[in-house]
Amino acid sequence: MQKSDYRNMWVYIEHDGKTAAPVGLELCCELRKLCDRTGDRLYAVILDRLPGAEEEKVKDCGVDGLIRVHGSGYAYFNTDAWANAFTVLSRKYNPSAIFVGGTVNGRDFAPRFAVQLDTGCTSDAMELDWDSETGDIQFIEPAVGGKIMAVITVPALRPQIGTIRPGTFPYAPTGRKAQIEEIEEEISFDPEAIRCRHIDFIPDENDPEMDIANADCIVCVGNGLKDSEHLERYRTLAKLLGGKLGCTRPLYDRGILPYKLQIGQSGVMVKTKLYLSFGVSGAVNHTAGVDADVFVAVDKNPEAQIFNYCDYGIVGDMDEVCDELIAQLQARR
């Protein structure tokens, strides 16, 4: 295999038939920058029909081309048809890299077509770089619970495949290319051959407390929390500040708060005005998920990494500081 035979980068545009998931657009924006360095062309790959207005959004993200795939087998997401489509397309066009949003379904099918193509696959990169000597993309991601950053490459195989979590890169369209190539492909997958079929979908009840991605204020509780007995005061504080409660991964792992409140790379990426962390150590996986105008950190360990990310820090007992905040905020009213 000659690496130089493989050119151009692809982004999969996940959609539900009505709107494109933000992660695909985010990836187009980020990869535009990378392609400008590598000289690759950037293509968005769309399976089944996406309304025109949504396609326009994709085009605004600086893609050089669209690959539209039509055919049977795409009525509902299924690993078989999706993986097959990418394998067929990739064998035909030999892209250098394929990026897929790290949604539940993206993470379901991307590693699978990597095996079909017998190539390397990475997940959850937070940064993308390029080594001009080897021509390899460097997927940079936190590892071992955020203690280290690891550079991962696919040195000998192509395409290079990466799944990237939603919210990792900003949605910042830089403008539309004058010429956008449009490729139509017919790839059908026999619906009878789909091995795992959609039967039904039951939407979650909409609980506003569970929707923290864009809350104005977030009170985030970390592993310093002694037990669930001590949790209520943080809810009280969040209410007083007109904000919402969130947590770090260990609290989800400890079964104290639900996954939807887990902030960080493997949970929810949040954008907020005021962020207060209590008992959060500051692992990269968590801080990578926080975009705050003002960041306040409270932890008993003065060496905690979280103080490197905050605007203001208090070293002390988290419960005591929280109680003080509640008392003084109440006194101000």
Partner 1 sequence: MLNILVCVKQIPDIDLVKMDPETGNLVRAGVPTLTNPLDLNALEAAVQVKERYGGKITLITMGPPMAESTLRECLAVGGDEAVLISGRPFGGADTLSTSYSIVMAAAMRGKFDLIFCGKESMDGATGQMASQLAERFDAAQISCCLSVDAVGDGKIRATRALETGREIVEATLPCLITVEKDRFFGRLPNLEAYLAAKKAEITVYTENEIEGLDLQKIGVPGSGTIVPKIYPPELPEPGQIIRTGSARSDVGRLLELLAEKGAL
Partner 2 sequence: MAAYSKITPEIAEQLRAVVGKRFYVGGEVDPNYSHDEMPIYGKYMPEAAVDAETTEEVSAVMKICAANKIPVTCRGAGTGLVGGCVPLAGGLVLCTRRMNKILEYDMDNLVVRLQPGVLLKDLAADAQSRGLMYPPDPGEKTATVGGNISTNAGGMRAVKYGVTRDYVLALTVVLADGRIIELGKSVCKTSSGYSLLHLMIGSEGTLGIITEMTLKLIPSPICDVSCLVPFRDVESCIRSVPKIKLANLDPQSIEFMDADIVTSSAAFTGNPIFPERVRNEDVGASVLVTFTGYDEDELDQKMIKLGEIAKEADALDVLVVATSSNKKSAWAARSSFLTAIEADTKLIDEMDVVVPVDKIPAFLIYIRALGDELGIRIRNFGHAGDGNLHIYCCSNELEEEEFKRRVKIIMDRAYTKCAELEGQVSGEHSIGHAKMVYLRESVGEDVFELMRQIKAVFDPDGILNPGKVCDSTLAERA
Of 201, 255, 303, 333, the one binding partner 2 by CB under 8 A: 255
Which of partner 2, partner 1, none does 330 bind, CB closer than 5 to 8 A by kind? none
Which of partner 2, partner 1, none does 227 bind, CB closer than 5 to 8 A by kind? partner 2
Our finding on whether 329 is near partner 1 (CB under 8 A) is yes
Beta carbon of residue 226, minimum distance to partner 2 (angstroms, whole number): 6
Of 118, 186, 207, 229, the one binding partner 2 by CB under 8 A: 229
Between the CA of residue 125 and those of 128, 150, 167, 288, 305, what are the distances in Å?
7, 9, 12, 11, 21
Residue whose pair of structure tokens reads 């008992």 in the numeric block: 279
Our finding on whether 81 is near partner 1 (CB under 8 A) is no
Nearest to 28 by CA among 83, 70, 65, 76: 65
Between the CA of residue 169 and those of 206, 272, 283, what are the distances in Å?
26, 16, 19
CA distance 102 to 114: 14
CA distance 310 to 286: 13
Q: What one-character DSSP code corresponds to residue 128?
A: E
β-strand partners of 300: none
| Strand arrangement, sheet containing 121-123 | 121-123, 160-164, 97-101, 9-12, 42-47, 65-70, 181-186
CA 25 to mean position of chain CA atoms = 11
Binding residues among 245-274 for partner 1 as defined by CB under 8 A: 253, 255, 259, 266, 273-274
Residues 6+ apart with CB under 8 A from 141: 122, 123, 124, 125, 126, 127, 149, 150, 152
- Report the residue number, 240 or 256, with the smaller CB distance to partner 2: 256
Per-residue x/- marks for partner 1, 107-146, CB under 8 A? xxxxxx-xxx-xxxxxxx-----------------xxxxx
Our finding on whether 75 is near partner 1 (CB under 8 A) is no
Our finding on whether 64 is near partner 2 (CB under 8 A) is no
Beta carbon of residue 331, minimum distance to partner 1 (angstroms, whole number): 10
Our finding on whether 200 is near partner 2 (CB under 8 A) is no
Our finding on whether 228 is near partner 2 (CB under 8 A) is yes
Which of partner 2, partner 1, none does 147 bind, CB closer than 5 to 8 A by kind? partner 1
Our finding on whether 301 is near partner 2 (CB under 8 A) is no
- Report the residue number, 70 or 233, with the smaller CB distance to partner 2: 233
Our finding on whether 202 is near partner 1 (CB under 8 A) is yes
Phi, psi (rounded to 5 degrees) for 183 = -110, 130
Part of the chain binding partner 2 (CB under 8 A), chosen from 68-76, 103-111, 189-197, 249-257: 249-257
Angle, to 10 degrees, between the axis of helix 52-59 and the axis of helix 22-38?
30
Which of partner 1, partner 2, none does 103 bind, CB closer than 5 to 8 A by kind? partner 1
CA distance 132 to 141: 20
Our finding on whether 1 is near partner 1 (CB under 8 A) is no
Our finding on whether 330 is near partner 1 (CB under 8 A) is no
Site residues (CB under 8 A) for partner 2?
226-229, 254-256, 323, 327
